Amino acid sequence: MSGSRGRDNPSRATSCTPCTVNYPRFPAESARSTRLSSPYRIPPQPRGGAPALPHRRRAPRPRTPSTAGRAHPLMRRPNARVEPPAQAQEQTLASAPASKMAAQRQRSSSSSSLGRRHLAGALAFLAATAFALLLLLPRSSPPSYGVVIDAGSTGSRVHVIAYRAGPLPRLDWTRTASLKAAPGLSSFAADPGTAGASIAPLLEFARRRVPRDSWARTEVRLMATAGLRLLDAATAEAVLESCRRLLRESGFQFQDEWATMISGAEEGIYAWVAANYALGTLGGATQDTTGIIELGNVCHQ
C-alpha cells in the first residue's frame, strides 16, 4: 500500500518513522498502594495531614491446656517453626505426669507437716495431763528412821534403818546402811567407864545417814548379846551406863531402858523375824514361816 502510494505520489517519502506511545506515569504512592498488603506488615504512617489514630492492640487470647505452647496462626511469624499436632500432644502428655507428681509431693509434704503438728499437740496434752496428776496425787510422806546398835562379843554394829509405817513396815533399802566398830563392849570389863567411847563412831555414822530434822523422832536402841552376858551383872551394868551417857547426848530419841542386855531367846526371836521378813513369809500363816538356827561366836540359837 505504501509502495502504491509512492508511485502515485512521488512527493511523499516512502520511509516509515517509528511512533512512540506515552503511557501515563503513576506516582510512587500509587505504585506502593497497588502492592498487596500483608496482614503482618505495619501500615505506613502518613507524612502530614491528619494525625494517625492510636494503635489498638488486641487483647491476648487466654491459653487453655489444649492451646498451651502453640501460637495463634495470625500471631505466628512467617518463618516460625510449626510443630505437628501429634508432637505437641506428646509433649503435653509427657508434662502431665510431672505435674501430677509435683502435686502429689506437695500433698504428701502438707500431710506430713499436719501429722507432725498433731503429734506435737498430743505430746503437749499428755505432758499437761501428767503434770496435773502429779499435783493431784497425795505426796508420799518421808520415811521414818530407826537406829539399832548390836553390841556383840567381837565388835559392835550400827544399823540405820529407813522404813515406811503400815500394818507391816516396808523397808527402804536405798537409805538403809550398817557400820561395824571393834572391839566389843566385853573388852572394857577392866575399865567400864570408857566403854561408851567405842560406840561414838557408830553414832556419828548414824547422824550422817539420818536427816537432821528427823533426829528428834528417830529412836536409837542398844542391845548387848552373849559377849556382855559373860561378865558379872555389876560390870555389865557399868558398861551399859557408860553407853547410855553417850546415847543421851546423841540427838536421837532415847530412853535408858532402850540400852539393855538381851537373852539368848530374845536374840533368836529377833533373828527369826528378820529372816522371815526378808523371805516375805512374815505376817501370814504360821506353817508358811521358816525356822532358823543362828550361829554366833559365843552362843547359838
* Predicted local confidence at residue 2, as pLDDT: 46
- Is pLDDT above 80 for 185? yes
If you average pLDDT over residues 271-275, what whole number do you get?
Answer: 89
Angle between helices 200-209 and 233-248 (to 10 degrees): 40
Domain range spanning residue 240? 144-262
- Is pLDDT above 70 for 290? yes
In a domain, 137, yes or no: no
251 and 150 co-located in one domain: yes
In a domain, 161, yes or no: yes
How many structural domains compose the chain? 2
255 and 268 co-located in one domain: no
In a domain, 123, yes or no: no
How does strand 170-171 pair with strand 156-164?
antiparallel
In a domain, 228, yes or no: yes
Per-residue pLDDT of 60-94, as tens digits, reads: 665 555 555 555 555 555 555 555 555 555 555 55
Per-residue pLDDT of 217-269, as tens digits, reads: 999 999 999 889 999 999 999 999 999 999 999 999 999 999 999 998 999 89
Rounded percentage of the chain residues whose pLDDT exceeds 90 = 34
Q: What is the DSSP secondary-structure string of 102-133?
A: HHHHHHHHHHHHHHHHHHHHHHHHHHHHHHHH
184 and 242 co-located in one domain: yes
| Least confident range of 125-129, 174-178, 214-218 | 125-129
- What's the CATH code of the domain at 156? 3.30.420.40
Q: What is the DSSP secondary-structure string of 178-247?
A: EEEESS-GGGGSS-GGGGGGGGHHHHHHHHHHS-GGGSTT-EEEEEE-HHHHTS-HHHHHHHHHHHHHHH
The larger pLDDT score, comparing residue 290 to residue 6, is at 290
If you average pLDDT over residues 119-130, what whole number do you get?
Answer: 70
* Predicted local confidence at residue 103, as pLDDT: 66
If you average pLDDT over residues 124-147, what whole number do you get?
Answer: 71
154 and 219 co-located in one domain: yes
Return all residues near 117 (Cβ < 8 A) that are at least 6 apart. none
* Predicted local confidence at residue 150, as pLDDT: 94
Q: How confident is the model at residue 162 (pLDDT cuts 50, 70, 90)?
A: very high
- Is pLDDT above 70 for 137? no
- What predicted TM-score, i.e. pTM, was given to this entire model? 0.53
If you average pLDDT over residues 24-41, what whole number do you get?
Answer: 50
258 and 272 co-located in one domain: no
If you average pLDDT over residues 172-179, what whole number do you get?
Answer: 92
Active site residue 294: no
Average pLDDT, the chain: 75
169 and 229 co-located in one domain: yes
274 and 248 co-located in one domain: no
| Least confident range of 48-57, 101-110, 249-258 | 48-57
- Is pLDDT above 70 for 4? no
Active-site choice (204, 249, 267, 294): 267
CA dihedral 244, 250, 252, 255 (to 10 degrees): 20
